Homo-oligomer: A and B are copies of this chain.
Amino acid sequence: MEYEIVKSSSEDFDRGIWEIFKFVTSTGDTYIYPPETTKAQARKIWMQERVCYVVKDKITSAIMATYTIRPNKSGLGSHVCNAGFMVHPHYQNRRLGQAMCEHSLIEAKKLGYFAMQFNVVVSTNERAVYLWKKMGFKVIGTVPQAFNHKTNGLVDIHIMHRFL
């Protein structure tokens, strides 16, 4: 299946991003946003004060996945960016996470960032930890019991980082 990664339009939220956001957060095991996050809250989280991208099927234009880039901190820390990645469950196991991450590293550099940091990599999310390590990120810190996992209770959070 051929796809392209492009900047999102505001219509993309209703055309697919919200469905992805809802699915990904519903499991309460990977993202800090609680499963009860509303559509309005999600729109604000994912579309405001960030640059948002979507992975689109080249033929059907279906939105398969999405990611965002934003400053990880404001002010004197704004040279480090943060990114978040979400894949629609129908399109998993197609390496879209890796494709988005590769894309994001180039985009973030173009946007003038110096490094990329993930603040909440849930330690039980082994696929994510494996993928980010493969993409050159290092675990630079682990916050004990900082994530209230839906099924496992309190689990550790990794902070991961790489220069661009």
Separation of A77 and B156 alpha carbons in the complex (Å): 10
Q: Mark A93-128, 1 if CB is under 8 A from B, else 0.
A: 000000000000000000000110101100000000
Separation of A77 and B73 alpha carbons in the complex (Å): 18
Does residue A26 face the partner (Cβ distance < 8 Å to B)?
A: no
Separation of A142 and B141 alpha carbons in the complex (Å): 7
Assembly of this chain: how many copies?
A: 2
Does residue A50 face the partner (Cβ distance < 8 Å to B)?
A: no
Of the stretches A3-11, A31-39, A60-68, A84-92, the one at the interface is A31-39
**CB <8 Å contact, B32 and A146:** no
**CB <8 Å contact, B115 and A76:** no
- Interface of A, secondary structure class, is strand
Report the minimum CB–CB distance from A37 to chain B (whole Å): 7
Query: What number of A residues sit within 8 Å (CB to CB) of B?
Result: 35
Separation of A145 and B140 alpha carbons in the complex (Å): 12
Does residue A69 face the partner (Cβ distance < 8 Å to B)?
A: no
Report the minimum CB–CB distance from A119 to chain B (whole Å): 8
Contacts of A73 in B (CB 8 A): 32, 119-120, 146
Q: Which residues does A use to contact B, with CB under 8 Å?
A: 28, 31-34, 37, 72-80, 114-115, 117, 119-120, 140-149, 154, 157, 159, 161, 163
Please name 11 further chain A to chain B contacts, defined as beta carbons within 8 Å, in addition to the given A140-B142, A144-B161, sorted by A numbering: A31-B75, A37-B75, A72-B146, A73-B119, A77-B157, A79-B146, A79-B154, A115-B145, A140-B143, A141-B143, A141-B159
* Closest A-B pairs by Cβ, 5 of them: A141-B141, A34-B75, A76-B148, A32-B75, A140-B141
